Amino acid sequence: QVQLVESGGGLVQGGESLRLSCEASARTFSHFAVGWFRQAPGKNREFVATIKWSGGNTDYADSVKGRFTISRHNAKNTVYLQMNALKPDDTAVYYCAADAMDYYSDLRDPGMYGYWGQGTQVTVSS
């Protein structure tokens, strides 16, 4: 069983930055792909970014490309989401998710992930 704990959310003004962390309880986390998703009130959960277990392959939603960076430190069982140039549209609860994936897995699909954190609120004021 893998437990994920997100942290780093908060209230910021537009244009500012935040760094979210997702810490896992299990050493096997280093072999998992990890995704960040977000859900705004009244909207579906949407893909934000993902990183494979090796850290060499990343993918981003078009809405955050160039502003957000996902990275991982496997020795610390932690994945980060650096968010720069935040916009009010980025306001949402942010979730990290993890699971073992094969080469053909669609890492943008939240249904592919079996382990989820409790979420951390990010609020961006205009």
- Judge whether residue 19 has pLDDT over 80: yes
For the segment 44-73, the average pLDDT, to the nearest whole number, is 93
Among residues 116, 121, 75, 79, which one has the least CA distance to residue 99?
116
pLDDT on residue 5? 95
Percent of the chain residues past pLDDT 70, beyond the cut: 99
Choose among 101, 35, 102, 46: nearest CA to 70.
35
Output the six-digit token pair for 31.
């072999």
pLDDT higher than threshold 80 for residue 62 = yes
Model confidence at 89, pLDDT cuts 50, 70, 90, reads: very high
In SS3 terms, 11-33 reads as: EEECCCCEEEEEEECCHHHHHCE
State residue 55's pLDDT score: 67
What is each CA distance from 28 to 2, 24, 33, 90, in whole angstroms? 8, 9, 11, 31
pLDDT in tens, 102-115: 878 899 999 999 99
pLDDT of residue 110: 95
For residue 94, give the amino acid letter.
Y
Asked if 120 contacts 47 with a C-beta cutoff of 8 angstroms, the reply is no
